[in-house]
């Protein structure tokens, strides 16, 4: 079952780039909610699976939506030029969407925080789509990922903690 959450800065609900991002998000969620996609995600999301295997399931749809895989050059203005998002979609007016697909290291290695940081320092992205497990199986049991990431990301959408990221869109698989 797909779980979603959209977090955004106060007052941007009618902004053209935000509305566009919401529409793209809804199309991706609809694709990921289809029975065939759900079955593939369920079969793939197992102990020792890789995020690349999850990416492969959604790759054709992300390309249809206009995303470019591992876009180079988004961080050329910084010292950390080797950074690349999993996917990137340019939106008008210098805005864009970075999409990251996580699996096993989402919270164990703070990949969710790295992803929002990447979006924060990227001059060409104001939105982050973060595709994460709802629950992650491990050798010692289950970890609740979606709710943990949601709680961590909500912190960035309290006015006193605003970053350059205008919205984070979570999709839990």
Average pLDDT, the chain: 91
Q: Which of 14-23, 64-73, 76-85, 132-141 ranks highest by mean pLDDT?
A: 14-23
Residue 124: how many CA atoms within 13 Å on its side-chain side? 17
How confident is the model over 82-119, as pLDDT tens digits?
788 999 999 987 899 999 999 878 888 899 999 999 99
DSSP 50: -
Query: For residues 24 and 51, what is the distance between their CA atoms, to the nearest angstrom?
Result: 21
Phi, psi of 49 (to 5 degrees): -70, 160
Alpha-helix residue ranges (DSSP H) falling in the chain: 16-33, 35-44, 51-64, 111-121, 146-154
Pick the CATH number of 3-172 from 3.40.91.20, 3.40.50.960, 3.40.220.10, 3.40.50.10260: 3.40.91.20
Domain parsing of the chain, residue ranges: 3-172
């Amino acid at each position: 079952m797909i779980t979603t959450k959209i977090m955004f800065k106060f007052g941007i609900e009618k902004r053209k780039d935000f509305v566009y991002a919401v529409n793209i998000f809804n199309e991706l969620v609809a694709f990921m909610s289809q029975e065939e996609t759900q079955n593939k995600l369920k079969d793939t999301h197992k102990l020792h699976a890789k995020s690349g295997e999850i990416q492969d399931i959604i790759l054709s749809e992300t390309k249809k939506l206009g995303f470019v895989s591992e876009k180079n050059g988004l961080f050329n203005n910084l010292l950390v030029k080797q950074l690349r998002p999993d996917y990137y979609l340019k939106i008008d007016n210098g805005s864009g969407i970075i999409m990251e697909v996580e699996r096993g290291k989402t919270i164990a290695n703070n990949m969710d925080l790295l992803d929002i940081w990447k979006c924060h320092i990227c001059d060409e992205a104001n939105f982050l789509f973060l595709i994460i497990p709802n629950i992650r199986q491990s050798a010692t049991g289950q970890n609740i990922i979606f709710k943990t990431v949601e709680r961590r990301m909500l912190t960035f959408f309290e006015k006193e903690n605003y970053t350059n990221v205008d919205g984070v869109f979570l999709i839990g698989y």
